[in-house]
């Protein structure tokens, strides 16, 4: 069992509005401390857990706004933790993963993870993904009288593709497709201008902050994953075209 100190590094602040709370689950105390300090500097409250069993009990009894799990942990790994959490909760979850853990990513998304961030990553990227997912979660839980249509971006419909930018929801031929926030931003950049070739640099600008360096091969990996996920619901999916040496485009025909 983790100690009370392990379970809670930062409580909600005294006075003012409620801070959004992020739970961090990792067996590496150095990572927990670094993430917690970084997120607190961005205005979040944090709770940290070094043990999956302890984390699961706390996440169910006193849910935060979002949780971040490392995948590779002893005793109970992040995938098992998510599986058990999803039996009782729809709490938004981001996985921290290594670049070579693609099978784990696919399984995690099937279990209900909201996004993946590969190590090493920048604090800017993590905070941007957290805020995007929290916004999506708030909209999904809001009552109709709490959301005004004129405040939300219009859904994008391109042939059989439906994109809801406000909630980061995707459908193909009416069937839901589970993709990460990063993948959504890349797909949105392509689908907004069908037939227009977007370079890797343009897609990186759409999906990542301007001052964050990302290898252009990262975009190729995201495109491969997008195609694989769409082909899981439609084996004949071919709407994302590659123009070798130039980039990618979306065809809505």
The dihedrals phi and psi of 196, each to the nearest 5 degrees, come to -90, 130
- Lateral strand order in the sheet of 156-158: 156-158, 161-164, 169-172, 175-176
- The answer to whether 92 and 66 are in contact (CB under 8 A) is yes
97-106, 146-155, 209-218, range with the lowest pLDDT: 209-218
- Whether the pLDDT of residue 14 is over 80: the answer is no
- Whether the pLDDT of residue 215 is over 50: the answer is yes
Fold classification of 4-141 is Rossmann fold (3.40.50)
* Domain ranges, ordered by start, for the chain: 4-141, 148-250
pLDDT of residue 103: 61
**pLDDT, mean of residues 197-212:** 77
Q: In CATH, which of 1.10.10.10, 2.60.40.1250, 3.40.50.2300, 1.10.3720.10 is domain 148-250?
A: 1.10.10.10
- Whether the pLDDT of residue 141 is over 70: the answer is no
Residue 3 C-alpha from the chain's centroid: 29
- The answer to whether 155 and 164 are in contact (CB under 8 A) is yes
Helices (H) and strands (E) in the chain, counts: 9, 11
**pLDDT, mean of residues 185-214:** 81
Strands 21-25 and 45-49: parallel
pTM: 0.64
């Amino acid at each position: 069992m983790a100690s009370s100190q392990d379970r809670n590094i930062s409580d909600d602040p005294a006075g003012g509005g409620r801070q959004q709370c992020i739970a961090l689950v990792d067996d590496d105390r150095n990572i927990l401390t670094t993430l917690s300090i970084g997120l607190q500097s961005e205005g979040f409250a944090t709770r940290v857990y070094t043990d999956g069993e302890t984390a699961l009990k706390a996440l169910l009894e006193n849910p935060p706004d979002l949780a971040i799990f490392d995948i590779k942990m002893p005793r109970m790994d992040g995938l098992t933790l998510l599986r058990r959490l999803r039996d009782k909760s729809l709490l938004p979850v981001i996985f921290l993963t290594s670049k070579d853990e693609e099978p784990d990513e696919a399984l995690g998304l099937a279990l209900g993870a909201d996004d993946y961030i590969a190590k090493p990553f920048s604090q800017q990227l993590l905070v941007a993904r957290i805020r995007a997912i929290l916004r999506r979660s708030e909209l999904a839980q809001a009552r109709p009288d709490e959301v005004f249509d004129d405040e939300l971006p219009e859904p994008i419909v391109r042939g059989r593709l439906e994109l809801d930018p406000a909630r980061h929801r995707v459908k193909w031929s009416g069937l839901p497709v589970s993709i990460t926030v990063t993948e959504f931003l890349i797909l949105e950049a392509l689908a907004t201008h069908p037939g227009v070739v977007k370079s890797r640099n343009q897609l990186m600008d759409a999906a990542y902050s301007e001052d964050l360096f990302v290898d252009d091969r990262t975009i190729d990996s995201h495109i491969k994953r997008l195609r694989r996920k769409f082909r899981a619901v439609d084996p004949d999916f071919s709407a994302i075209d590659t123009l070798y040496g130039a980039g990618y485009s979306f065809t809505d025909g």
